[in-house]
Structure 1
Amino acid sequence: QNGVFYYVQLPSYDTHEAYMHHNDEIFKTHIIGTDTSLDRVLVSRQTSPEFMNYTDGRYLWEIITFKDCSYEFAGVYQTSFAEIWYRKSTTAKWNKLFDMNDMVSNIFYFNNKIYYNSLKNAPNGSIKMLDLNNQVAAPKTILPEQADPISYYAIAQTKNYLIVPLKKNGVTTYSKFIYLPTNKITASPFKENTSSTQYWAVNMNKNDSVLIQREGWTNYPQLTNAVIGSPKETPDKYLTLNSLPFADNLIVEEIEVLSYDGTLVPLTIIRRKDLQLNGNNVAIVMGYGAYGDPVLTNYFHRSYAMLANKGVVCCLAHVRGGGEKGNNWHIGGMKQSKPNSWKDFNACAEYLIAKGYTSAKHLACEGASAGGILIGRAITERPDLWACAVPEVGVLNVLRSEYSSHGKSQNDEYGALENINEFFALMESDALLHIQKGTKYPAMLVTTGWDDPRVNSWLCAKFAAAAQNATASNKLVLLKVNYNAGHFGGSAGKQTAMKEAAKKYAFMLWQCGFDKTNKYD
């Protein structure tokens, strides 16, 4: 704004160098056109020791400002939740507004009031309001906890509305609109007839215009522009995506699979309508199961629709550890409860085999980042279920993750070494520790980016080396290092990324015995 932007200066730009999580970072502002030596320090360990000296994984993530608001806010996060601090001016002392126990994920501002999503005593989330003019008063509940969980990462704000999306059955979104001047709540005035409907404020400080993104599992997102209060929608002039020509060939099945302990786990299956369920189809199952993040359509690559049109069964397992069914679903797949994630995942694989969608010799799995825990432990616990596995930039040696450049910042999700109970949970979740000599493991393509600041390459490489040394199946175990990449992607552009995706799926199809002469090719 006005030629000024915020940035964070890191103590080192070498992603292979560990530093004391984020305490040595410096938050600054820069005026475009001026020398960087004139940049102003907003927050540092020296200026703000209140929240820049944590040693338990909490770290300053963002400085938050709002138009016409005299306060400045700081979000100190520990994975899913944040402490929110505030101050009146850039020279004033910081004061804590919300504690970590308040379970606040994000904040919004309107007319000197803070609106926020809280999971405290509300596992599915609730929207509360705090009057900054009367902070001693108890926060007011605006939207009480609903039967379906709030997709808190997708909440949007326009000039007069707070748009709160919720997830039905773990996967389908719908929204409630809060009119901020009166706090009146209404259903969305727009059609929500796809798996995901998300709203983006176009100019939140001036009006109630929104960009609406409708997205399904088998087609490209469709974008329209609208103004809340008017039924008229116009196609977005900057991005228009045509429908996939083969979308009508496909069917999406949203089912729930019985896991080992009786829990019903949502499973999305994308396949051709005319596909025979005879056990001879290649199937790919994708999963994540961490941080309370649900696997929604934004996780879904259109490659799956293309593969499904060729006769591949493409699936997304919404296992515990994600947020499909609220905070309890997240808690049910983290730390000591983390085994639920890969047991849910393997239960989905067993279902697909039992119902004839595929068989073990045709079944592949993939997952990335924290999803590496899921994939690594799924195949080490049940190597007989899988023909191929692709953990991408995956946390495959989680017991040692504190010694990576990320430090202790992920302890709230994975567990801490100094906590004896969490230490044993880390051991149980560590895929590397469960590699057994002489076991017939599936084929593997283990990928990593050399400059990955989140999941250092050695976390992946150690697992790949151990699997290569131990496997008795004579199936390929490959380690692929992208020396121009970080945590996903690289510097070579979209074409290179598409080629890498093509190689990945070619490896899966090859190792799963895909019949290139099938009638759909």
Structure 2
Amino acid sequence: MNAAVQPGPIAYPATERGTTVETQFGEQIADPYRWLENDVRTDPKVAEWVAAQNAVTDAYLDTLPGRDWFKGKIAALMNYERFGVPQKYGSRYFYTRNTGLQNQSPLYVQDGLNGERRVLLDPNTWAQDGATALSGWRPSPDGSKLLYMVQDGGTDWMIIRALDVATGEKIDDDIRWAKFTGLSWVGEDGFLYSRFPEPEKGQDFQALNYNQAVYYHKLGTPQSADQLVYATPDHKERGHGAAVTDDGRWAFIVSSLGTDSKYEVHAIDLTQRAAKGWAARPLVTGFDNAWNPIDVIGNTAYFVTNKDAPRYRIVKTDLSAATPNWTTVVAEGEQPIDGASIIGDKLVVTYLKDATTRAAVYTLDGKPQKDIALGELGTAGGFGGRAGDPETFYTFTSFNRPGTIYRLDVNTGATTPFATPTLTFDPDRFTVRQVFYPSKDGTKIPMFIAHRKDVTRPAPTLLYGYGGFDVSLTPGFSATRMAWMEAGGVFALANIRGGGEYGKAWHDGGRLANKQNVFDDFAAAGDWLKANGVTTPGGLSIEGGSNGGLLVGAVTNQRPDLVDAAHAAVGVMDMLRFDRWTAGRYWVDDYGYPSKEADFKVLRAYSPYHNIRSGTDYPAMLVTTADTDDRVVPGHSFKYTAALQAADVGDKPHLIRIETRAGHGSGKPTDKAIQEGADVLAFLAHWTGLAMPPAPGDAEPIMSPANRSSTQR
């Protein structure tokens, strides 16, 4: 058993306090820790601060009882064979597979459904620390070649490469400065991708991302020879992505202004390239609604849109007509459409019903055929495939069930397992339920609650939320969450406003001037859990990442009395300067513009960095970030933590854990994910009184001192 955590305040590293004060709309805004915005890779002073903070945090975490237990439990729960959803190209099937504890999942290929699988790419051989990942991949239409993206150290910058599938030999291509891009083949010897201009030296992790453009690269040629396909230099803020239809005839350029689901769409007839080049004609203009391409059959293009349908509908138009004439194929219903694809000669449509997946098959004319049988409280994903081929694959998962891969024939409705995980735990020992609770304004909010079935009394609870960017949180398996439940804790997920669980109105209800609803919804979830005997008095921890890190910071400031322990991961903490780095400028769709007075007043009211309440007792807090996060730059977390440590907010620990060679989350190697999960859970368990089951040889459960005495609370 680890040594007990000693009571009393922590001696935090000294942090220089600057004198920066700026006047914004008549208010004096102090920013004493602005120097911590600098890139840790290039500023020795920031690097020293990071090292000093990590030393204090590591020393504290080393004393936590249960840390080793959580590390072992998370590793055991992750140690099972897991597969990605197969994709079929030509006669070949491509999918990822992890044997259990591999840092990265290799990509496999097999010839035919019953063929022998072989490793095509193993990213575990790319870096000694396991932090270089396979981020995305796309086989060519006949399955003979493969495009893939390399992600190093968690950065959003991708390197695009290609190989021959039969031989596994790399094709001599190396595409740089790609970010936020898909991969779309044009024939078998070239592809479309999106990239930004090369940033100034030393600014690749800081500079704003402007002037994204779509390029065509022909295999075997240098990147300098790539053809510019689509760009808007007069509108540098616009982002552009490309998607080629399965028949290879059309390319759609989908343009956006930010993170909001409002697009313009242009179409390129690829059969006319010799005569017209990359001539793009507009299909949708105005950035007013979502327009997500499904595919094209003949000249008929199918899209999912929320134009005149806040919960989405499926429409079609004839591309041979001079002017698009959109007609409804599948009308808007009570449940928002979450996705659609054309498989064989059918439409497969997925819906969200109270944040769980439903799926159905329609004819291409929109006539309902059959529902796809899924579990009750879970998430299904995948459903990719081709027109003319009735075969598709999908995965189904829930909080207590890792993903199982199924093969579906949409013509017959026959479903057969493709890959069923062999687990190290019994899912039936756990229960998952959904409740609906009232928020401050009376709005009913759904919340999932999961725990061991034998946990029948109030228990320390971990409440998770996000609440933004039209992102829907649905049930899914996490070894870290399962470890919390294995220890006897309760896990709760609140589907607060700002997400996409109920369509456009739900998203709009939690953004811009309505952002306070998000914090109210989350606080109301905590109040409900305490009032209804789910959690113990003093046993509520909260957690969120990215926009969810902002959520945790804001709710902790507003309701420190509610929260007993908090984990804010890679959070957006300075709401007055978020739009000054990398992808931050995109977020104005949800947050507003700090440079506009009306938006500034809203942002100023909840910005975590600017609203720490000195003189108020705060819960224990662990902030986590990474040195190479170029999505939400770590300066957000650095500044917030420095301000929290300097404020008079009580003696409970307010620490920051800064991962090295990691970014915003994607591509993180398994060993780092296990260690981070153990650190976070041990911290939250200690400050909520969660007692881990005894390890072999222990006479009693591993109890935190916080559970034995109130003097450290």
- Quick check: 1:158–1:208 contact (8 Å CA) kept in 2? yes
1:346-374 Cα offsets, whole Å, 9 max, x none, are 00000111111113521111111111221
Give the alignment partner of residue 53 of structure 1, picking from 234, 247, 254. Answer: 234
In 1, Cα distance between the equivalents of 2:399 and 2:322? 44
In 1, Cα distance between the equivalents of 2:379 and 2:661? 35
Give the alignment partner of residue 175 of structure 1, picking from 351, 356, 359. Answer: 359
Give the alignment partner of residue 479 of structure 1, picking from 656, 659, 668. Answer: 656
Alignment partner of 1:165 is 2:342: no
Count the aligned residue pairs: 500
Please state how far the C-alpha of 1:315 moved relative to its aligned partner.
Answer: 0.4
Match of 2:265? 84
- Quick check: 1:438–1:472 contact (8 Å CA) kept in 2? yes
Alignment partner of 1:146 is 2:323: no
RMSD across aligned positions (CA): 2.3
Alignment partner of 1:443 is 2:624: no
Match of 1:119? 306
Match of 1:495? 671
Match of 1:411? 588
Match of 1:72? 251
Label 1:407 to 1:497 Cα distance change in 2 as closer, same or farther (>3 A): closer
In 2, Cα distance between the equivalents of 1:92 and 1:156? 26
5+ long unaligned stretches in structure 1: none
Label 1:185 to 1:199 Cα distance change in 2 as closer, same or farther (>3 A): farther
1:323-342 Cα offsets, whole Å, 9 max, x none, are 11221111000010000011
- Quick check: 1:364–1:388 contact (8 Å CA) kept in 2? yes
Give the alignment partner of residue 6 of structure 1, picking from 192, 211, 233. Answer: 192
Alignment partner of 1:98 is 2:284: yes
Please state how far the C-alpha of 1:8 moved relative to its aligned partner.
Answer: 3.4
5+ long unaligned stretches in structure 2: 1-139, 141-187, 695-699, 703-713
Give the alignment partner of residue 367 of structure 2, picking from 170, 173, 184. Answer: 184
Q: Match of 2:254, as an amino acid?
A: G
SS at match of 1:410: helix
Match of 1:304? 481
Match of 1:504? 680
SS at match of 2:451: strand
Label 1:359 to 1:105 Cα distance change in 2 as closer, same or farther (>3 A): farther
1:129-160 Cα offsets, whole Å, 9 max, x none, are 12212353631111111011111xx4333242
Moved more, 352-361 or 325-334: 352-361
1:474-500 Cα offsets, whole Å, 9 max, x none, are 111111222301111566x22222221
Q: TM-score, normalised by structure 1?
A: 0.90
Label 1:83 to 1:351 Cα distance change in 2 as closer, same or farther (>3 A): same
**Structure 2 matches for 1:368-447, cutoff 5 A?**
368-447=545-624
SS at match of 1:63: strand
Please state how far the C-alpha of 1:251 moved relative to its aligned partner.
Answer: 1.3
- Quick check: 1:360–1:384 contact (8 Å CA) kept in 2? no
Match of 1:295? 473
1:401-437 Cα offsets, whole Å, 9 max, x none, are 1111224222111111333322222222311111122
Q: Match of 1:221, as an amino acid?
A: G
Please state how far the C-alpha of 1:197 moved relative to its aligned partner.
Answer: 5.0
Q: Match of 1:226, as an amino acid?
A: L
Match of 1:267? 447
In 2, Cα distance between the equivalents of 1:199 and 1:434? 39
SS at match of 1:220: strand
In 2, Cα distance between the equivalents of 1:395 and 1:285? 19
Please state how far the C-alpha of 1:106 moved relative to its aligned partner.
Answer: 0.9
Label 1:411 to 1:487 Cα distance change in 2 as closer, same or farther (>3 A): same
Identity %: 27
Q: Match of 1:510, as an amino acid?
A: H
Q: Which has the higher contact order (CA 8 A, sep 6+)?
A: 2
Label 1:85 to 1:415 Cα distance change in 2 as closer, same or farther (>3 A): same
Alignment partner of 1:256 is 2:436: yes
Larger gyration radius, structure 1 or structure 2: 2
Moved more, 254-263 or 32-41: 32-41
Q: Match of 1:35, as an amino acid?
A: P
In 2, Cα distance between the equivalents of 1:481 and 1:391? 12
In 1, Cα distance between the equivalents of 2:279 and 2:412? 45
Label 1:135 to 1:470 Cα distance change in 2 as closer, same or farther (>3 A): farther
In 2, Cα distance between the equivalents of 1:161 and 1:428? 50
Label 1:117 to 1:222 Cα distance change in 2 as closer, same or farther (>3 A): same
- Quick check: 1:198–1:212 contact (8 Å CA) kept in 2? yes
In 2, Cα distance between the equivalents of 1:105 and 1:468? 46
Label 1:461 to 1:105 Cα distance change in 2 as closer, same or farther (>3 A): farther
Match of 1:22? 210
Please state how far the C-alpha of 1:297 moved relative to its aligned partner.
Answer: 2.2
Label 1:427 to 1:187 Cα distance change in 2 as closer, same or farther (>3 A): farther
Alignment partner of 1:39 is 2:226: yes
In 2, Cα distance between the equivalents of 1:510 and 1:373? 23
